[in-house]
Amino acid sequence: MDQRKADEQLAAIRAKVEAGQRLSFDEGVFLYDHVDLFTLGELANLVRERKNGRFTFYNVNTHLNPTNVCVYRCTFCAFRADLKSPKGYVMSDEQILERAAEAERRGATELHIVGGLHHQLPYEWYLNVVRIIHQAHPQLHLKAYTAVEWDWFARLTGRPTRDLLAEFKEAGLGSLPGGGAEIFHPEVRDLICEHKADADTWLRIHREAHQLGLRSNATMLYGHIEKTPHRIDHLCRLRELQDETGGFQTFIPLAFHPDNTRLAHIPKPSVLMDLKTMAVSRLMLDNFPHLKAYWVMLGIQTAQVAQSFGADDLDGTVVHEKIYHDAGSDAPQELSVAEIRRLIEEAGRIPVERDTLYREVIRTPERWQTGRTLQLV
Ligand code: V47
Ligand code: SF4
């Protein structure tokens, strides 16, 4: 691209960002492909501080993956197991309840529940997971099952996803995690996960959840076979649904981890790519309140630096994570609250413990309770 033209386009984008105006698809592609990392960081930080000031949010949570047995074979997944594979497992009710009790003992406010789509388990089994945990630990927020799982439940039962979401809400479901989005564009989706819920299904299920008063997150899996226009298309589709419902809380860009997957020949995305993706996402998703630098996926150092490239959240203390560790993540299984707070302060930010719905968590030695929502815009 001609340098003078590029300078003019960047000046126009800068003016729009400063004025809080929306960037177009073409501007998103231009930012990714023609703008240096530090300029992207500077612009993204402007939006980040306008929305969240100097706060960086974290939460105390635990992951629960009740089964890894899955009928699908997404090419990027190292977590799944075949039905008869020795690696496959299904947790018993006792194991599930023990995990929830451990989370509560450790002061967790949230349980993040996702897993495989088991060939033989009935819908009631997945419902039972949420029901028994909620009955035993009503204070724990249950962020459970991705849109891909909800679509699977509809296939199992022949019932509409809206009804299933409502039934789960009754049983204690608190919100939906953002997984399963991968890359929406069919040029990519049909190659990496052709069987599972397509883009419209994923977006429809989140719309239905929002209409039922459930909040949700959104993700994008980058650094595999997708190209810049696919990423920008993905962000634009999310932005459009957010305009309609306002139900998304956090966007989480997920860096592809190749180890033990069918895409193991593809190198892991660079730190440059990680930070660029965070910054461009912050600039494109003008209607998302939060961006999460998921440290398990990015590594602690990059997640810390990402706090100056658009991110305002680090995710949690995260115990028992499997999806990324199976795919070669060398991040630790757990960060203590003291360590998370130190990392945030070192990055020049103010640590705030939040619950799943971004309300401040106030703790005494014995218990915790939620306070006000800390959001500037
Ligand atoms: O949908 C699977 C991804 C997702 C790999 O909502 C992989 O707060 C990289 O969605 N390399 C599940 N990514 C995790 C997820 C998530 C994580 C943290 C917080 C939240 C939230 C949601 O993990 C899957 C898929 O996109 N994934 N395998 C892999 N090898
Ligand atoms: Fe199954 Fe999810 Fe892995 Fe795809 S990403 S194979 S749906 S566990």
261 lines ligand 1 (CB under 6 A): yes
pLDDT tens sequence across 136-152: 999 999 999 999 999 99
| pLDDT of amino acid 316 | 80
Token couple for 223? 């650094």
Residue 13 lies in a domain: no
178 lines ligand 1 (CB under 6 A): yes
Q: Helices 199-211 & 147-157, crossing angle to 10 degrees?
A: 90
Checking if the pLDDT of 213 tops 80, the result is yes
Checking if the pLDDT of 338 tops 90, the result is no
Count Cα neighbours of 126 within 13 Å in the Cβ-side half-sphere. Answer: 30
pLDDT tens sequence across 80-132: 999 999 999 999 999 999 999 999 988 899 999 999 999 999 999 999 999 99
Q: How far, in Å, is the centroid of ligand 1 from the Cα of 295? A: 12
Q: How far, in Å, is the centroid of ligand 1 from the Cα of 232? A: 19
Of 260, 347, 253, nearest to 291 by C-alpha is 253
| pLDDT of amino acid 376 | 59
Q: What is the 3-state secondary structure (H, E, C) of 232-290?
A: HHHHHHHHHHHHHHCCEEEEEEEECCCCCCCCCCCCCCCHHHHHHHHHHHHHHCCCCCE
What percentage of residues in the chain have a pLDDT greater than 70? Answer: 97
Distance between CA 322 and CA 88 in Å, rounded?
A: 13
Long-range contacts of 366-369 (CB under 8 A, 24+ apart): 368/107, 368/109
Q: How far, in Å, is the centroid of ligand 1 from the Cα of 333? A: 15
Residue 4 lies in a domain: no
| pLDDT of amino acid 66 | 98
Confidence grade of residue 375 (pLDDT, cut at 50, 70, 90): low
168 lines ligand 1 (CB under 6 A): no
Q: How far, in whole angstroms, is CA 246 from its chain's centroid?
A: 16
Checking if the pLDDT of 377 tops 60, the result is no
252 lines ligand 1 (CB under 6 A): yes
Distance between CA 113 and CA 94 in Å, rounded?
A: 16
pLDDT tens sequence across 62-71: 999 999 999 9
Eight-state DSSP code of residue 129: H
DSSP string spanning 148-200? HHHHHHHHHH---HHHHHHHHHHHTEEEE--TT-S--SHHHHHHH-TTS--HH
Q: How far, in Å, is the centroid of ligand 2 from the Cα of 26? A: 32
Q: Helices 199-211 & 161-171, crossing angle to 10 degrees?
A: 50
Confidence grade of residue 328 (pLDDT, cut at 50, 70, 90): confident
* Residue owning the nearest CA to atom 8 of ligand 2: 116
The identity of residue 290, as a single letter, is: H
Distance between CA 319 and CA 100 in Å, rounded?
A: 11
231 lines ligand 1 (CB under 6 A): no
Q: How far, in Å, is the centroid of ligand 2 from the Cα of 32? A: 28
Residue 86 lies in a domain: yes
Distance between CA 102 and CA 358 in Å, rounded?
A: 23
**Residue from 68, 254, 288 to probe ligand 1 pocket by mutation (most atoms less than 8 Å from CB):** 254
Please give the backbone phi and psi of residue 222, each rounded to the nearest 5 degrees, phi first.
Answer: -125, 165
78 and 127 Cβ atoms separated by less than 8 Å: no
189 lines ligand 2 (CB under 6 A): no
Please give the backbone phi and psi of residue 338, each rounded to the nearest 5 degrees, phi first.
Answer: -60, -40
Residue 301 lies in a domain: yes
Residue 174 lies in a domain: yes
Confidence grade of residue 339 (pLDDT, cut at 50, 70, 90): confident
How many residues does this entry show for the chain?
Answer: 377
The domain of 339 spans 26-373
| pLDDT of amino acid 207 | 98
Distance between CA 217 and CA 230 in Å, rounded?
A: 19
What is the number of structural domains in the chain?
1
Please give the backbone phi and psi of residue 28, each rounded to the nearest 5 degrees, phi first.
Answer: -65, -45
Residue 273 lies in a domain: yes
223 lines ligand 1 (CB under 6 A): no
Checking if the pLDDT of 323 tops 90, the result is no
Confidence grade of residue 197 (pLDDT, cut at 50, 70, 90): very high
Least confident stretch, 95-109, 217-231, 332-346: 332-346
Of 259, 215, 251, nearest to 234 by C-alpha is 251
Average pLDDT estimate for 340-360: 94
Shortest-distance ligand to the CA of residue 322: 1
Token couple for 68? 């890894």
358 lines ligand 1 (CB under 6 A): no
DSSP string spanning 315-375? EE--BS--HHHHTT--S-S---HHHHHHHHHHTT-EEEEB-TTSEEEEE-SS-EEEEEE--
Q: How far, in Å, is the centroid of ligand 2 from the Cα of 118? A: 10
Average pLDDT of the chain, as a whole number: 94
141 lines ligand 2 (CB under 6 A): no
Residue 249 lies in a domain: yes
pLDDT tens sequence across 29-57: 999 999 999 999 999 999 999 999 999 99
Beta strands 290-291; 359-363: pairing state? unpaired
Q: Which atom of ligand 1 is nearest to the CA of 296?
A: 18
Q: Which atom of ligand 2 is nearest to the CA of 196?
A: 7
Q: How far, in Å, is the centroid of ligand 2 from the Cα of 323? A: 9
Residue 163 lies in a domain: yes
* Residue owning the nearest CA to atom 4 of ligand 1: 179
Instruction: State the virtual CA torsion across 147, 283, 349, 177 in degrees, nearest 10.
Output: 0
202 and 147 Cβ atoms separated by less than 8 Å: yes
Shortest-distance ligand to the CA of residue 177: 1
Least confident stretch, 246-255, 298-307, 317-326: 317-326
Q: How far, in Å, is the centroid of ligand 2 from the Cα of 310? A: 28
Eight-state DSSP code of residue 120: S
Residue 104 sits in a domain whose CATH number is: 3.20.20.70
